[in-house]
Chain A
């Protein structure tokens, strides 16, 4: 029996838990919506503007950096399995070069002030 069958069953059980809990809530909880109750919460005053608001895009720098490094991290896991073979020393050097290049990028980003907030 494959362990992935168990994983699939666990996902199903999790969804079932959510559905069952929501069912119990539907039976037990009161339901009395009013207009004021359904308005967007803005600390007790009437909401200013509509729906989705604009926000800072500073965060995208971190997303970029993450994507670069996450791809690199994916390569580390297969390396963990071959490093004990006769590839060992050579692969260590190659990984060092690979990560070194990315590290230079990170240092560059930091020195150009990309990691400063404002």
Chain B
């Protein structure tokens, strides 16, 4: 009985984090972007600096009509948002905030998180194919090609970290972390960050949803709450990737008073990465399709392999 209660509590805890953190990132994006562009951003909803803007957006989305186009493959079309969203929820469950604050401490959580986040792309592909819309199909093809190309450097970068730590578990990796990693895992860290932004289809890698050419890519036909779910999955993705970066490369809970406040350190470091992800959107224009494929295959993959070689040699010579 107590097992059931514990499992339920953990699952609900993950859900709560999943519903709060993306909104926090979303609101930060509103405000940070606005101030970078000399605007104020939302100021009205909720009174204090528009803090309730995204809550209000959610309420609005629930009340919007849900349209399934007549030509669409209806069942796939309607289920696609869930396929895009749930993987990030599951990934969040496996990321440790501190040795104690983790919903499910899996033995190979680094591999698990990579595998689960890769499922999310199926949601985009399903959406694009089932819409029976030319923009959607083009967007889905671009998304698939982009996610395949950037998945690879990301996996290689994570493999390098696993190699340096001698562990496939995120808790084990963060426990083995030392400040030297900031230097000798730096190329891998940059590869990971670039690949993560590309995986999330965020600017400058937002070719799959390029509004000036294909409206909104795979999500063109979506309205109301289903559309909101795709947006939520993007922000949940930022949360997952930022926390993952914090745990893999920034030592997670290492910091002052890490015994008591470890989880806060992980969240803080993750939040800083999220701000960087937002910053990239403001700072850079969109990459063209051929440019972003070249970047993946001719810059990131060789760089990640070089990092892997460096780590391998370092581990073997110091072991």
**CB within 8 Å for A59 and B145 given contacts A5-B7, A41-B215:** yes
Partner of B94, one of A7, A63, A103: A7
Q: Output the nearest chain A residue to B132 by Cβ-Cβ distance.
A: A51
Contact yes or no, B137 A18, CB < 8 A: no
**In chain A, residues 3-19, which have Cβ atoms closer than 8 Å to a Cβ of chain B?**
3-7, 9-15, 17-18
Contact yes or no, A84 B166, CB < 8 A: yes
Contact yes or no, A25 B62, CB < 8 A: yes
A24 to B149, CA, bound (A): 38
Partner of A73, one of B129, B131, B156: B156
Contact yes or no, B103 A6, CB < 8 A: yes
Chain A positions within 8 Å of B215 at CB level: 41, 43
A28 to B71, CA, bound (A): 25
Q: Does B141 contact A (CB under 8 A)?
A: yes
**CB within 8 Å for A99 and B305 given contacts A6-B7, A18-B85, A40-B133:** yes
Chain A positions within 8 Å of B141 at CB level: 55-56, 59
> Residues 45-68 of chain B: 1 if any A CB is under 8 Å from the residue's CB, otherwise 0?
000000000000000001111111
> Residues 142-176 of chain B: 1 if any A CB is under 8 Å from the residue's CB, otherwise 0?
10110011011001100100110111100000000
Chain B positions within 8 Å of A101 at CB level: none
Partner of B163, one of A35, A39, A76: A76
Interface size class of A (residues with CB under 8 A): 35 or more
Chain A positions within 8 Å of B93 at CB level: 6-7, 10
Chain A positions within 8 Å of B81 at CB level: 18
Give 22 pairs: A residue, B residue, CB < 8 Å, sorted on A.
A3-B105, A4-B106, A7-B90, A10-B14, A10-B89, A10-B93, A13-B12, A21-B229, A25-B225, A40-B221, A41-B133, A42-B134, A53-B134, A69-B301, A76-B162, A76-B163, A77-B108, A80-B167, A80-B168, A103-B302, A115-B294, A115-B297
Residues of B within 8 A of A (CB): 3, 6-8, 10-12, 14-15, 62-71, 81-82, 85-86, 89-90, 93-94, 103-106, 108, 111, 129, 131-135, 137-138, 141-142, 144-145, 148-149, 151-152, 155-156, 159, 162-163, 165-168, 215, 220-221, 224-225, 229, 289-290, 293-294, 297-298, 301-302, 305, 308-309, 312-313, 315-316, 319
